[in-house]
Amino acid sequence: MEHKIDKNKLIRRSVFAGAALVLLVLLFLLSRGMWYQIEEQEEAVVVTFGQAKAVSEKGLHFKLPLIQKVQKVNTTIQGFPIGYDLATNETTEEEAVMITSDYNFINVDFFVEYRISDPVKYLYASSMPEEILKNIAQGSIRTVIGSFDVDSVLTTGKSEIQAQIKEMILAKLEQQDIGLTLVNISIQDSEPPTEEIMQAFKAVETAKQGKETALNNANKYRNEQLPKAEAEADEIVKDAEAQKQTRINEAEAQVARFKAMYEEYEKNPVVTKQRMFYEAMEDVLPDLKVVIDNGDGVQKVLPLEPFAQMQEDAQDGQTGSADAQDGQKRSADGQ
């Protein structure tokens, strides 16, 4: 009988010990589920009876086990490529090939940077928020690229293209409200889709560079020659002004002379006329010597220069003849 009682006690003690052990294990598991840690660049979403709440404070936090559920999200800047594979760097043609406004095909690669701005909406507003962002980005890229010509996409228009794409994506993300925000989108590379077209574009770029060089040389030559031409033009203008002033001064002098002569003419018209006539004859016939008689002869103006020359020649001849006769006479006396 005593042996039977001891056996029952042992059974009860074993059951009690097992229950205590199970209770301790449950308490341990529950205590572990009562706490969660939020690290740097993380946020948590705590769901209580279906109600989600974001928790951003870093450190250790308490939660009700079996009642509250916690999900953590990464709030750092993340990214994905469009047009190429990030691991192999190979082109993804279905994403990269696009058409420009001037109907040229071109390969353009982009990299999209984003971060989670609202953890609750990121987790529960959509099932695949990153895929939605990628589709929005691809649609915006093709829309903007299709409004630019191929030269702009390859060279000068990249900054404007990136700005327009970013603005369009931000507007569409605001409409979708999926808890993501765009940080940046940048063109990684842009090139023609085939080697032949690439060579043609390189030739075009070379021609453009040659054009720029020629324009720079022309501007340099213009800048060198323009001051010289301006100086010459200024000198011509100054000479013209000087000649103009000289002509004006001469004209004014002639006017003053005419006025003075007219005043003398009014005082004594006959004498003035004769004086003017003589001066005019001197100007018209500067090398002709004239003699004015006393008024009794037939001619008033006698061109006597030829006659005077003939008279001088005749006198020289007579002198020469007399000298010859005198020489002959001296010769005879000597004999």
Q: How do the domains of the chain map onto residue ranges?
A: 77-193, 287-320
Q: Look over the chain and give the mean of its residue pLDDT values, rounded to a whole number.
A: 79
Residue scoring higher pLDDT (195 or 290): 195
Report whether 134 contacts 113 (CB < 8 A). no
Round to whole Å and give the CA distance between 86 and 140.
Answer: 21
Residue scoring higher pLDDT (287 or 318): 287
Give the end-to-end CA distance of the chain in Å, rounded to a whole number.
Answer: 223
pLDDT tier for residue 198 given thresholds of 50, 70 and 90: low
Contacts of 106 (CB under 8 A, 6+ apart): 97, 98, 99, 100, 145, 150, 153, 154, 190, 191, 192, 193
Q: In the predicted model, is pLDDT for residue 81 greater than 90?
A: yes
pLDDT tier for residue 142 given thresholds of 50, 70 and 90: very high
Round to whole Å and give the CA distance between 315 and 311.
Answer: 6
Query: 200-204 long-range CB contacts below 8 Å, 24 or more apart?
Result: 201/150, 201/154, 204/151
* 83 three-class SS: coil
Q: Taking the alpha carbons of 202, 190, 83, 104 in that order, is the dihedral positive or negative? A: negative
Q: What is the pLDDT of residue 109?
A: 94
CATH class of the domain whose range is 77-193: alpha beta
Round to whole Å and give the CA distance between 102 and 104.
Answer: 6
Q: In the predicted model, is pLDDT for residue 335 greater than 50?
A: no
Contacts of 195 (CB under 8 A, 6+ apart): none
Q: In the predicted model, is pLDDT for residue 32 greater than 80?
A: no
Q: What is the pLDDT of residue 296?
A: 60
Report whether 44 contacts 70 (CB < 8 A). yes
* Interval 132-160 mean pLDDT: 92
Q: Is the pTM of this model over 0.75?
A: no
Report, in angstroms and rounded to the nearest whole number, the Rg of the chain calculated over CA atoms: 60
Round to whole Å and give the CA distance between 108 and 154.
Answer: 9
Q: What is the pLDDT of residue 302?
A: 47
Contacts of 261 (CB under 8 A, 6+ apart): 272, 276
